[in-house]
Amino acid sequence: MKEFQDFDRAFLEETGLSLTSKVSLAEYSSFRIGGPADYFLEVRSLSDLALAVKSARKLGFPFYVIGGGYNILFDDAGYRGLVIRNSAAGLQYLPEKGSLEAASGTRLSDLVSLALKEGLTGLEFLAGIPGTVGGAVFGNAGAFGQAIGDRVAEVTVLSGEGQERALGPEELHFGYRYSSLKKDHKIILKASLKVEPGSRAEMLKTVEDYLNQRARKHPPGEVPCAGSYFKNPVLPGGRKIPAGQLLEQAGARGMRVGQAAVYKGHCNFIINLGGATARQVLTLAAELKEKVWQTSGIRLEEEVIFVPADASML
Ligand SMILES: Cc1cc2nc3c(=O)[nH]c(=O)nc-3n(C[C@H](O)[C@H](O)[C@H](O)COP(=O)(O)OP(=O)(O)OC[C@H]3O[C@@H](n4cnc5c(N)ncnc54)[C@H](O)[C@@H]3O)c2cc1C
C-alpha cells in the first residue's frame, strides 16, 4: 500500500477536492454496520462525481460509489480505498420528452414529491422506497408489481474509459432487481424517467395506499436494516414465491446470531438489534438460506449487497 500513502494529497492536486480519512461506514448504511473507510468523499454535483471517479481511476486507487446506503452491508473491516457518497441531486421536467430527468443522487422521495406536485403519474410505486435514483436504477428497485426500469427512457453513465454515454432500456437489460449495470458497474450520472399527466387526487390516493401497506409490513424507519434481505425466488413458470413465506415456513421466526435478528413482523428482514456485526448478519443469512434449502429445496439469493473491504469499481 506504500504507493497509496499520499493518495489524499495526489487526489487533492488532481481534483481540488479534500478527502476525509478513517470514516465509519456504519454512519452511511441504514444497517448501521461497517468499519472505517480509508478515505471518504461526499459529492454534491455530477461534475464532482465524474471528476472523483475519473481521478481515482487515473491514480489507480480502489473506490466504491454509494447512494443512500439503504441496500448495502459494509464489511466489519471497513473499506480499503475511497468511498464516494453520491448526493448530487437535481430534477427537471422535460414536457417535450414526457420525462423527468433526475441526477443520480436525487432522493426517490424528492422525485415522487415533484411528480405529485406537477401532476405527473407513473412513479407512485416508488413512494416509501428509501435511497437515490442511482441506487434504484442500479438494482431496478420496485414495489407493487412495478420497477423503475419500466419507466426508464434513458440513463447517462460514465464508462470505464471516463466517457459519458446515454443508454436506452434495451441496453440495460432490466430484470427483477437486476440491471446490466450490476455486471460492469458503470457509474450512473442521471436518468430520464417516463411520466404522463395524471390526476393529482388519484395519485395522492395511490401513494397513501402504498405507504400504508408498507407501514404494515416493513420495520419502522428507525430500525436498522437494508430492506428485504433475499429476493423472492422465481419458479420456472415465472411465478414468484415470497421469500418471507418460505422463511416463515422454514422456522426463521425468532432466529438471531449475536445482535443480528430476523424481524418479528416479516421474516425477510434481518435487523440490527444494536451493535450487530457484518459477520453476524452474514452468518444468520447463511443459516436462513440453509433452512429454506432443507425445507423447500429452493436456494434463496441475496438482495442486499455485501461490500467487502477490497471491493473495487476500478
Ligand atoms: C426499510 C427499507 C425498505 C425498502 N424497500 C424496498 C422496496 O420496496 N423495493 C426495493 O426495490 N428496494 C427496497 N429497499 C432497498 C433500497 O431502498 C433500494 O435498493 C434502493 O434503490 C437503494 O438505493 P441507495 O441509493 O440507497 O443505494 P445504495 O444502497 O447506496 O447502493 C446500492 C448499490 O447501488 C450502487 N449505486 C448506487 N448509486 C450508484 C451510482 N450513481 N452509479 C453506480 N452504482 C450506484 C452501489 O454501488 C451499490 O452497489 C428498501 C430498503 C429499506 C431500508
Same domain, 113 and 160: yes
Nearest CA residue ID for atom 44, ligand 1: 187
**Does any ligand 1 atom lie closer than 6 A to the CB of residue 149?**
no
Residue 259 falls inside a structural domain: yes
Considering 150, 185, 216, which residue would you say is the last residue of a domain? 216
What is residue 288's predicted lDDT score, i.e. its pLDDT? 98
Residue 136 parent element (H or E): helix 133-139
Q: For 115-173, what is each residue's pLDDT tens digit?
A: 999 999 999 999 999 999 999 999 999 999 999 999 999 999 998 888 999 999 999 99
Q: Which atom from ligand 1 is nearest to the alpha carbon of 70?
A: 26
Is 279 in the active site? no
Which of the following is catalytic: 228, 248, 256, 302? 228
Q: Which atom from ligand 1 is nearest to the alpha carbon of 218?
A: 1
pLDDT in tens, the chain (314 residues): 445 678 999 999 999 999 999 999 999 999 999 999 999 999 999 999 999 999 999 999 999 999 999 999 999 999 999 999 999 999 999 999 999 999 999 999 999 999 999 999 999 999 999 999 999 999 999 999 999 999 999 999 998 888 999 999 999 999 999 999 999 879 999 999 999 999 999 999 999 999 999 999 899 989 999 999 999 999 888 889 999 999 999 999 999 999 999 999 999 999 999 999 999 999 999 999 999 999 999 999 999 999 999 999 98
What is residue 44's predicted lDDT score, i.e. its pLDDT? 98
Q: Can you give the CATH number for the domain in which 161 is found?
A: 3.30.465.10
**Does any ligand 1 atom lie closer than 6 A to the CB of residue 224?**
no
Same domain, 149 and 95: yes
Residue 96 falls inside a structural domain: yes
Q: For 12-35, what is each residue's pLDDT tens digit?
A: 999 999 999 999 999 999 999 999
Concatenated DSSP letters of 91-113: EEEETTTTEEEEETTSBHHHHHH
Q: Can you give the CATH number for the domain in which 244 is found?
A: 3.90.78.10
What is residue 30's predicted lDDT score, i.e. its pLDDT? 98
How many domains, in total, are found in the chain? Answer: 3
Same domain, 135 and 231: no
Closest CA to 224 of 26, 2, 30: 30
What is residue 2's predicted lDDT score, i.e. its pLDDT? 45
Q: Which atom from ligand 1 is nearest to the alpha carbon of 186?
A: 43
Is 303 in the active site? yes
What is residue 47's predicted lDDT score, i.e. its pLDDT? 96
Range of the domain at 247: 220-307
**pTM score, two decimals?**
0.97
What is residue 83's predicted lDDT score, i.e. its pLDDT? 98
Which of the following is catalytic: 30, 177, 179, 192? 177
Distance CA 260, CA 282 (A): 9
Ligand 1 midpoint to CA 214 (Å): 16
217 half-sphere exposure, CB direction, 13 A CA radius: 18
Same domain, 79 and 114: no
Distance CA 1, CA 254 (A): 43
Ligand 1 midpoint to CA 137 (Å): 8
Nearest CA residue ID for atom 36, ligand 1: 135
Ligand 1 midpoint to CA 265 (Å): 22
**Does any ligand 1 atom lie closer than 6 A to the CB of residue 7?**
no
Considering 216, 244, 274, which residue would you say is the last residue of a domain? 216
Same domain, 140 and 166: yes
Is 180 in the active site? no
Nearest CA residue ID for atom 14, ligand 1: 227
**Does any ligand 1 atom lie closer than 6 A to the CB of residue 68?**
yes
**Cell numbers at 27, concatenated:** 454512519
Output the furthest CA–CA distance in the chain (Å, rounded): 61
Same domain, 197 and 143: yes
**Does any ligand 1 atom lie closer than 6 A to the CB of residue 136?**
yes
